[in-house]
Amino acid sequence: MSIAIITGSAGLIGSEAATFFANEGFDIVGIDNDMRSYFFGEEGSTNWNRQRLEKLLGAKYRHVSADIRDYETMTKLFQEYGSDIKLVIHTAAQPSHDWAAREPLTDFSINANGTLNILEATRNYAPEAVFIFTSTNKVYGDTPNRLPLVELEYRWEIEPGHTYENGIREDMSIDNTLHSVFGASKVAADIMVQEYGRYFNMKTACFRGGCLTGPTHSGAELHGFLAYLMKCAVTGKPYKVFGYKGKQVRDNIHSSDLIRAFYEFFKAPRIAEVYNSGGGRFSNCSMLEAIQMCEEITGRKLNWSYVEQNRIGDHIWWISDNSKFSSHYPEWKLKYNIRQILEEIYEFNKERWEKETV
């Protein structure tokens, strides 16, 4: 029996991972207590996705409604399965840098201490398991904002010829920068995942995601950029753009593309690796460009307004350079671009969202 333990299993990446690895023959143990509804209210709840997952996977999926901060419960769960655990995918987190400033203790206890709990349980009861952690590009803080940028009509772009023209690599420093409270807690987790790899010789990897997206994302105002933007386009809810003239750029990676990267790492794991993981030059957009695409896809005007003040520590321009991962795993390729992602989010959710139309 091969067990995959997935934290945050009802979320975007967790549910995609559960489905994928169940289809690869794993029995899935999913840990998720719907903390997302606490962070973002009812619209951020993942209960609908948990129910979908249970129905879809049936006996291949066991749901555990538990808190990753509860070390005793995590220990008992890992002890129960022991060496049958071949893979741990840790996606559970407090994911918003805006929200983190409201409750720093809660944010850190989930992102840092919760990660340590999962690492230690893995080390004690499944030390040979592959450990994959969804980190974030916020570990680099606002250092990307020091890059030389050029203002174009609908977006900011990096100066031509710059070393990061193809995207930001893992060699960017994470020091001497404004991380946000969220970024700091994820740095702590990221470094600890690396340390367990190096110090205890565990097969660990940090995937530093930019914007992770897909049709099962429970998008909310403070987290889930593309999903929430499309939801507002469908329902008529107002959307606020914060700062940078709406020209801030993000790369977006579809959850399916990311999970296929996880699978490549699982098949040929390494020790304490770090990978920037995003849509790269293949899949990126500015806020203004995303708004235009949402309007074209839905046939509706988005009810949006502009707020001059940007969010603290927010990136003006972020595009990931995926070349390190691609050099290690050349079979992996991105499949989804921005337009395809938005069209899929729309088709998957429009009926459910239209019931909420104001």
| 3-state secondary structure labels for all residues of 141-184 | CCHHHHCCEEECCCCEEECCCCCCCCCECCCCCCCCCCCHHHHH
Question: What are residue 131's DSSP bridge partners?
Answer: 88, 204
Which range marks the domain in which residue 346 is found?
A: 3-354
Are residues 308 and 240 in contact, defined by beta-carbon separation less than 8 angstroms?
A: no
Token pair 């933007």 is at which residue?
229
Q: What angle do CA 169, 336, 210 make, to 5 degrees?
A: 35
Report residue 308: phi and psi, to 5°: -60, -40
Assign 85 to helix, strand or coil. strand
Residues near 168 by Cβ (< 8 Å), separated by ≥ 6?
137, 140, 144, 276, 318, 319, 320, 321
Angle (deg, nearest 10), helices 287-298 and 338-354 = 50
In one-letter notation, the amino acid at residue 113 is N
pLDDT the model gives residue 357 = 64
Are residues 141 and 179 in contact, defined by beta-carbon separation less than 8 angstroms?
A: yes
Residue by residue, pLDDT tens for the chain (358 residues) are: 899 999 999 999 999 999 999 999 999 999 999 999 999 998 889 999 999 999 999 999 999 999 999 999 999 999 999 999 999 999 999 998 889 999 999 999 999 999 999 999 999 999 999 999 999 999 999 999 999 999 999 999 999 999 999 999 999 999 999 999 999 999 999 999 999 999 999 999 999 998 999 888 776 666 667 889 999 999 999 999 999 999 999 999 999 999 999 999 999 999 999 999 999 999 999 999 999 999 999 999 999 999 999 888 789 999 999 999 999 999 999 999 999 999 999 999 998 888 776 5
* This model's pTM is above 0.85: yes
Containing 88, the helix (H) or strand (E) segment is strand 85-90
Domain with residue 152: its CATH number is 3.40.50.720
Assign 287 to helix, strand or coil. helix
CA distance 239 to 219: 12
Number of domains observed in the structure of the chain = 1
Q: Strand pairing of 156-158 and 317-318?
A: unpaired
Tell me the two tokens of residue 79: 């002890």
Tell me the two tokens of residue 40: 């973002």
Question: What are residue 136's DSSP bridge partners?
Answer: 209
In angstroms, the Cα distances linking 14 to 208, 225, 253 are 15, 18, 15
Angle (deg, nearest 10), helices 338-354 and 225-235 = 50
What is the DSSP-derived secondary structure letter of residue 299?
Answer: T
CA distance 47 to 64: 13
CA 200 to chain CA centroid, Å, is 26
Tell me: the pLDDT tens digits for 269-290? 999 999 999 999 999 999 999 9
Tell me: the pLDDT tens digits for 142-187? 999 999 999 999 999 999 999 999 999 999 999 999 999 999 999 9
CA distance 189 to 186: 5
